[in-house]
Amino acid sequence: MRDVLLASASPRRRELLAGLGLNVVAHAADIDETVAEGETSEDLVARLAATKAAFVAARKPGELVIAADTVVVIDGAITNKPADAAENRSFLERLSGRTHEVFTGHALRLGGRSDDVVVRTLVEFRPLEEEEIENYVSTGEGLDKAGGYAIQGRGAALIRRIEGCYSNVVGLSLPTVVESARRLGVRLV
């Protein structure tokens, strides 16, 4: 079983990597995640993932470090994690019947080498009734998720279709991580 360092406290990212048979050791990177003036969504997730990876790699040289950062974007605006149930409701009302983008920046570090990739997935919500939104919000599932929903949970019923990588919407594109690691000389599968 290969050890990897995950520069994140996300249980979802940890579960995705563990599903590959990896021994995942989480090392959360406490960094400033403020959006820089004029920064695009793609640039933001790339910068944050790279900063997290560098933070952990500096403390654990020679180890394979995997970092990621995910944002949900609708109408060009970043939709982060909702602060409370009211904001979660507002997010879902905005996403209802529409397509949005999910961007995840991936940054891998190993012995001074790096591989960084941003992945974009389109997610189309079906039109939601007010009662459905209330029922979903009442579960609390979306409170700690970018965009206010979990595709891997009850939120799957809100989604009509996706175009792109499913695990990217969860928070880490597994195919991207496997390919990036391979470019660094590491086989994860």
Catalytic site residue from 69, 84, 115, 144: 69
Domain segments of the chain: what residues? 3-183
- Assess whether 69 carries a catalytic annotation: yes
Sign of the CA dihedral with 99 first, then 102, 103, and 108 last: negative
pLDDT band at 1 (very low <50, low <70, confident <90, very high): low
Is the domain spanning 3-183 CATH 3.90.950.10? The answer is: yes
User: Over 70: is that where the pLDDT of 130 sits?
Assistant: yes
The residues that bridge with 68 in the sheet, in sequence order, are 106
CA dist., res. 69 & res. 46, Å (int): 8
Instruction: Characterize 63-76 residue by residue with b for buried, 16 or more Cβ atoms within 10 angstroms of its Cβ, and e for exposed.
Output: bbbbbbbbbbbbee
Q: What is the mean pLDDT of residues 7-12?
A: 92
Q: How many residues does the chain have?
A: 189
CA dist., res. 130 & res. 134, Å (int): 6
User: Over 70: is that where the pLDDT of 26 sits?
Assistant: yes
What is the pTM assigned to this prediction?
A: 0.94
For residue range 92-124, what is the model confidence (pLDDT) as tens digits? Answer: 999 999 999 999 999 999 999 999 999 999 999
Q: What is the mean pLDDT of residues 75-103?
A: 95
